[in-house]
Amino acid sequence: MKLFDPTEKVHANSRPIWHEALAEIGAANPNVVALTADLSRSVCTENFRKSFPDRYFNVGISEQNMVGMAAGLAMNGKIPYCSSFAPFLTMRAIEQFRTDVCYMGLNVRLVAAYGGIAITGPTHSGLEDAGIIRGIANSTVVCPSDVTMMRKVFHASVDYDGPMYIRMGEGTNDAEIYGEDYEFKIGKAIVARPGKDATIISFGLVLRYAVEAAMRLEKEGVDVGVIDMHTLKPLDKQAILEAAAATGRIVTVEDHSVYNGLGSAVAETLADEGISCKLKRLGIPDVYPSYGLSPQLHKKYGYGTDGVIAAVKGLL
């Protein structure tokens, strides 16, 4: 499939897409309800608020209550989208999500900004979020990987049955990678490019590093495939096993702790199947990231483009 060079089409601000997408699904389905906890502008519920004031509820700074109320709304057929920053949704309100929402299998969606390293520092950054949610039964974890996928994720989430965590990033400097339309299906990985020497599997907006690394390696004569694992759970295990069989070398890339995220899920899959495959996991090491612009920090912690290239070469 046609891919843009990820360094060429960079959107300085992708948040208007989230704003629009939430309002679009509000128009498409009258049961969609938006909740936020005093972060409406930051987490992109403003268009929805203006279009559907009767279905918009700002609960103030009270995430536990927001998710508990969302469970109650979902019990009566509403489809609540709870927006906040990743650590607040996945740590402050985690018991409500686990016990009120997932235990009862309710159609609540958490929409998290700042999944991954953010300029706001570790207090506001989702370093462990996807891993936390992944461990909860009945949960689904989705993270769009480029700006074209953001809208698709929101639209696909409306009729999805069960609780869902939608992991967004900072909304700054996100790449447009897919150069043609494509089918987006929750739980179905996208083979962004085939390759026979190694496979990079990425989760979320760091797809740009994976694709850029593959493009640069191609010029050096290394044929690297890229799999876009936009859904961490349910995991497309088949895609992982096929990559292992085809290339025998896998590098995972995620803007998330190396514990419990994509790298762990891929390692579990290979181990469970008894597959011997070279594997290198890239992501946030076991630290609280320092301050800086996120691309600088991705590079510092070894999962920027240079880090991905080095990891692939290390497996060859």
Nearer to other proteins, 102 or 210 (CB): 102
189 near 231, Cβ under 8 Å? yes
Q: H helices within 220-261, ranges in order?
A: 237-247
Strand segments (E) across the chain: 10-13, 32-36, 56-58, 79-85, 109-113, 140-142, 164-167, 172-175, 190-193, 198-203, 224-228, 231-233, 249-257, 278-284
- State the maximum Cα–Cα separation within the chain, in Å, rounded to a whole number: 58
Which residue lies nearer to other proteins by CB, 101 or 251?
101
Supply the minimum distance, in Å, between the C-beta of residue 28 and other proteins.
18
Nearer to other proteins, 37 or 211 (CB): 37
26: its two tokens: 């509000």
Q: Which is nearer to other proteins, 47 or 96 (by Cβ)?
A: 96
Shortest reach from residue 47's CB to other proteins, in Å: 20
Active site residue 63: yes
First CA to last CA distance, the chain: 25
Cα(291)–Cα(128) distance, integer angstroms: 17
Which residues would be at the binding site for other proteins (CB under 8 A)? 33, 54-55, 57, 59-60, 62, 64-65, 67-78, 80, 95-96, 99-100, 103-105
Out of 24, 63, 170, 176, the active site residue is: 63
Minimum distance from CB of 240 to other proteins (Å)?
30
Are β-strands 231-233 and 140-142 bridged in parallel, bridged antiparallel, or unpaired?
antiparallel
Minimum distance of other proteins from residue 85's CB (angstroms): 17
* Residues with catalytic roles: 63
